[in-house]
Amino acid sequence: MKITEFTSYRLIKGEDLNHHGSLIAGRCADWFLEAGYIAASNLTSPQNTIVLKINDLTYSKPARGGDVMKFTGKVIWLGRSKIIAHVKASSRAGDLIAAGFITLIHIVNGKSTPHGLSQIEAETEEDLRLQQLAQGLS
Protein backbone atom coordinates (compact mmCIF):
# COMPACT_ATOMS: atom_id res chain seq x y z
CA MET A 1 0.00 0.00 0.00
CA LYS A 2 1.26 3.49 -0.85
CA ILE A 3 1.42 6.32 1.66
CA THR A 4 -1.36 8.85 1.17
CA GLU A 5 -1.63 12.22 2.88
CA PHE A 6 -4.58 14.03 4.37
CA THR A 7 -4.33 17.83 4.62
CA SER A 8 -6.50 20.25 6.56
CA TYR A 9 -6.22 23.96 7.28
CA ARG A 10 -7.07 25.99 10.38
CA LEU A 11 -7.36 29.73 10.89
CA ILE A 12 -5.93 30.80 14.24
CA LYS A 13 -8.50 33.06 15.91
CA GLY A 14 -8.43 35.11 19.09
CA GLU A 15 -9.94 32.33 21.19
CA ASP A 16 -7.07 30.04 20.10
CA LEU A 17 -4.39 32.29 21.64
CA ASN A 18 -2.68 32.11 25.01
CA HIS A 19 -1.59 35.06 27.19
CA HIS A 20 1.58 35.41 25.05
CA GLY A 21 -0.47 35.94 21.88
CA SER A 22 0.54 32.60 20.37
CA LEU A 23 -1.45 29.46 19.60
CA ILE A 24 -2.44 27.47 22.69
CA ALA A 25 -0.52 24.17 22.66
CA GLY A 26 -3.65 22.20 23.54
CA ARG A 27 -5.57 23.65 20.61
CA CYS A 28 -2.73 22.73 18.26
CA ALA A 29 -2.67 19.22 19.77
CA ASP A 30 -6.42 18.90 19.15
CA TRP A 31 -6.03 19.81 15.46
CA PHE A 32 -2.95 17.58 15.26
CA LEU A 33 -4.94 14.60 16.58
CA GLU A 34 -7.78 15.30 14.20
CA ALA A 35 -5.47 15.26 11.15
CA GLY A 36 -3.84 11.99 12.23
CA TYR A 37 -7.17 10.38 13.05
CA ILE A 38 -8.68 11.31 9.69
CA ALA A 39 -5.59 9.99 7.85
CA ALA A 40 -5.93 6.66 9.69
CA SER A 41 -9.70 6.40 9.42
CA ASN A 42 -9.46 6.86 5.65
CA LEU A 43 -7.86 3.39 5.58
CA THR A 44 -10.25 1.68 7.98
CA SER A 45 -13.65 2.38 9.48
CA PRO A 46 -13.73 5.46 11.76
CA GLN A 47 -16.04 3.76 14.26
CA ASN A 48 -13.39 1.05 14.77
CA THR A 49 -10.44 3.42 15.22
CA ILE A 50 -9.40 5.00 18.52
CA VAL A 51 -6.39 7.07 19.56
CA LEU A 52 -4.04 5.28 21.94
CA LYS A 53 -1.43 8.01 22.41
CA ILE A 54 0.38 11.00 21.04
CA ASN A 55 4.06 10.27 20.51
CA ASP A 56 6.77 12.89 20.49
CA LEU A 57 4.69 15.95 19.58
CA THR A 58 7.31 18.69 19.40
CA TYR A 59 6.67 22.39 18.83
CA SER A 60 9.30 24.21 16.77
CA LYS A 61 8.03 27.77 16.77
CA PRO A 62 4.93 29.72 17.78
CA ALA A 63 1.96 30.42 15.53
CA ARG A 64 0.11 33.73 15.86
CA GLY A 65 -3.45 34.95 15.52
CA GLY A 66 -4.54 35.38 11.92
CA ASP A 67 -2.10 32.72 10.69
CA VAL A 68 -3.44 29.82 8.65
CA MET A 69 -1.95 26.49 9.68
CA LYS A 70 -1.66 23.46 7.45
CA PHE A 71 -1.90 20.01 9.07
CA THR A 72 -0.63 17.10 6.98
CA GLY A 73 -1.24 13.61 8.32
CA LYS A 74 -0.17 10.33 6.79
CA VAL A 75 -0.22 6.76 7.99
CA ILE A 76 3.40 5.70 8.09
CA TRP A 77 3.43 2.30 9.83
CA LEU A 78 1.04 -0.57 10.46
CA GLY A 79 1.19 -3.29 13.10
CA ARG A 80 -1.33 -6.08 13.65
CA SER A 81 -3.94 -3.73 15.10
CA LYS A 82 -1.88 -0.55 15.48
CA ILE A 83 -1.82 2.30 13.02
CA ILE A 84 0.83 4.99 13.40
CA ALA A 85 0.34 8.32 11.66
CA HIS A 86 2.83 11.15 11.34
CA VAL A 87 1.49 14.71 11.39
CA LYS A 88 3.20 17.97 10.48
CA ALA A 89 1.78 21.39 11.26
CA SER A 90 3.19 24.24 9.23
CA SER A 91 2.51 27.92 8.63
CA ARG A 92 1.23 29.41 5.40
CA ALA A 93 4.85 30.37 4.65
CA GLY A 94 5.89 26.71 5.04
CA ASP A 95 7.62 27.06 8.43
CA LEU A 96 7.37 23.94 10.59
CA ILE A 97 5.29 24.68 13.71
CA ALA A 98 4.95 21.17 15.17
CA ALA A 99 5.41 17.51 14.25
CA GLY A 100 4.98 14.11 15.82
CA PHE A 101 3.27 10.73 15.71
CA ILE A 102 -0.11 9.40 16.78
CA THR A 103 -0.69 5.74 17.64
CA LEU A 104 -4.19 4.47 16.93
CA ILE A 105 -5.76 1.06 17.52
CA HIS A 106 -8.30 -0.81 15.43
CA ILE A 107 -11.01 -2.19 17.74
CA VAL A 108 -14.16 -4.29 17.42
CA ASN A 109 -16.50 -4.72 20.40
CA GLY A 110 -14.01 -2.92 22.65
CA LYS A 111 -11.05 -5.21 21.85
CA SER A 112 -8.06 -4.61 19.60
CA THR A 113 -8.40 -6.63 16.42
CA PRO A 114 -6.36 -6.95 13.23
CA HIS A 115 -7.17 -4.16 10.79
CA GLY A 116 -6.39 -6.30 7.75
CA LEU A 117 -4.39 -3.59 5.98
CA SER A 118 -1.31 -4.43 3.93
CA GLN A 119 2.06 -2.95 4.87
CA ILE A 120 2.94 0.61 3.91
CA GLU A 121 5.63 1.05 1.26
CA ALA A 122 7.94 4.01 1.77
CA GLU A 123 8.72 5.79 -1.50
CA THR A 124 10.98 8.56 -0.22
CA GLU A 125 13.95 8.75 2.13
CA GLU A 126 11.86 10.91 4.47
CA ASP A 127 9.06 8.32 4.62
CA LEU A 128 11.60 5.56 5.26
CA ARG A 129 13.11 7.61 8.11
CA LEU A 130 9.62 8.19 9.56
CA GLN A 131 8.82 4.47 9.33
CA GLN A 132 11.98 3.62 11.26
CA LEU A 133 11.08 6.15 13.94
CA ALA A 134 7.50 4.82 14.09
CA GLN A 135 8.68 1.22 14.54
CA GLY A 136 10.61 2.36 17.59
CA LEU A 137 7.36 3.69 19.09
CA SER A 138 5.36 0.48 18.84
Q: Which helix (H) or strand (E) holds 82?
A: strand 82-91
Domain CATH for 104: 3.10.129.10
Q: What is the pLDDT of residue 138?
A: 58
Q: 114-124: per-residue pLDDT in tens?
A: 999 988 989 89
Q: How far apart are CA 116 and CA 130, in angstroms?
A: 22
Q: 96-118: per-residue pLDDT in tens?
A: 999 999 999 999 999 999 999 98
| 108: nearest Cα among 50, 39, 36, 42 | 50
Q: What is the pLDDT of residue 35?
A: 96
Q: What is the pLDDT of residue 92?
A: 87
Q: What is the pLDDT of residue 128?
A: 94
What is the domain range of residue 114? 5-137
Identify the segments of the chain with pLDDT beneath 70. Answer: 138
- Count of domains in the chain? 1
According to DSSP, residue 80 is labeled S
Q: How far apart are CA 33 and CA 104, in angstroms?
A: 10
